[in-house]
Structure 1
């Protein structure tokens, strides 16, 4: 039997990058597709926002897939992007997606904010006084609604429009992955989404709950504890580097514990 893999749940190209970073550490990876992201059909509200896009002073985007959906919509209506709009992203991956698809400069929270960056974004000086400014918030349907952040922007005087441009559809793990989760047959589980963590918990038995769980924020670690995970390890953020560094530390700690047990038995 081969070495136990590290199970990762990040989808798409971002999952590819994370898998490569982990494999570069000499650890095998097993991919678990837990959510499917699907762009929503265009609504009259969306179409109105795209047509009047030049009237927005600031645009806040909450995920890489939201950035892709935004870019696709703007490509249909605006062959050349209007000027005078400031773009904001809640994390580095979203900022990179905006820059790649639209070629725009993007405001992001401080790097030290970790994964819970939406609140940190609100600390930026340019978002403190928004008297009468039109702001567009581009996000997914359901999930993390950023309700508190939206209320904060509105309280600062913003005229806020929130658009849901995609949905998340939970997926059951494959039969092989269900057995792996039930047996705890993995080196560690890496999760950077509360929605995915809650979804997968139903398949995790005691063996899985005792394995290291690498999460990207203290908020997720708290949720993990409530769901019964006994060994959450908090990474410094949601980037592949941060998650892989935390994973390596957890694996090293595991090996040290095994060596200590062998010494005590000897």
Structure 2
């Protein structure tokens, strides 16, 4: 088992950074495609929001891909960004995209709070919105907590779905790893992906280390039957790689061997 790989399934170009961070700690890495991110065609609602973008007081972005879609749209409509807008990101990776593409300062959850909607909502500047116009840039579906809370706090909310998530069945090699439990750890940062992959996980796989990025995901993992969730300090490549390194591979060997004997 010592030579078995760490499995990752992060969609999009961010998978490469995660693989590199884990590999830098001496682990083999295998990437499985479990989800595709697809930008949605521009709607009349989106176009109206882009044209009136200068009227928003706060812009909240939930994911790196949402940030990329937002930046691409603003590049078409606003060669020079309007001033007086505060930008917020659920996680550091999203903030990085906004800063890189738009050159803006971005508010993120407090250090140690995790990359979650709940942590972002803990910021004092989002406590009272007093009829301020708020844009929430997100994907289709997803958790409603962020938008509902911003509206409850007095924000005049516009929620735009900029992309869709499409689940993919794992290929034969990745499905084989999940069926046998022949891997060092599985890294998942999306509840949707976790529920999807659980369908292919054998009893042996459920006893292997599962690295997740929040306590919410760890709770979901428990309901799905995963026995060894490990909560990383966040969803960045560095924090996830650190959690992989801190997981106990020798214990995984014992669990797997006991299952084979049983």
Please give the TM-score of this superposition, normalised by the length of structure 2: 0.93
Contact 2:70–2:137 (Cα < 8 Å) also in 1 = yes
Asked whether 1:178 is paired with 2:184, we answer: no
| Deviation for aligned residue 1:256 | 6.4
| Deviation for aligned residue 1:149 | 2.3
Cα RMSD (Å): 1.6
Aligned match of 1:37: 37
Aligned match of 2:151: 154
The worse-fitting range, judged by mean Cα deviation, of 151-160 and 94-103 is 151-160
Asked whether 1:139 is paired with 2:134, we answer: no
Matching of residues 184-263 of structure 1 within 5 Å: 184-250=181-247, 253-255=248-250
Aligned match of 1:264: none
Unmatched segments (≥5 aa) in structure 2: 255-262
**Which of 164, 173, 191 is equivalent to 1:167?**
164
Unmatched segments (≥5 aa) in structure 1: 260-266
| Deviation for aligned residue 1:255 | 2.6
Aligned match of 2:259: none
| Deviation for aligned residue 1:233 | 1.1
Asked whether 1:130 is paired with 2:125, we answer: no
- Once the two structures are superposed, residues 8-50 of structure 1 have per-residue CA deviations (whole angstroms, 9 ceiling, x without a partner) of 1112332111111111111100001110000000000000000
- Once the two structures are superposed, residues 167-199 of structure 1 have per-residue CA deviations (whole angstroms, 9 ceiling, x without a partner) of 000000011211121111111101111111001
* Shift in CA distance, 203/257, structure 1 to aligned 2, threshold 3 Å: closer
Whole-angstrom CA distance in 2 between matches of 1:148 and 1:234: 21
Moved beyond 2 Å, runs of 4+: 253-259
Contact 2:12–2:37 (Cα < 8 Å) also in 1 = no
Contact 2:184–2:249 (Cα < 8 Å) also in 1 = no
Whole-angstrom CA distance in 2 between matches of 1:222 and 1:216: 11
| Deviation for aligned residue 1:258 | 5.8
Please give the TM-score of this superposition, normalised by the length of structure 1: 0.92
| SS of residue in 1 equivalent to 2:88 | strand
Aligned match of 1:5: 5
Whole-angstrom CA distance in 1 between matches of 2:241 and 2:198: 22
Contact 2:207–2:252 (Cα < 8 Å) also in 1 = no
Whole-angstrom CA distance in 2 between matches of 1:154 and 1:179: 45
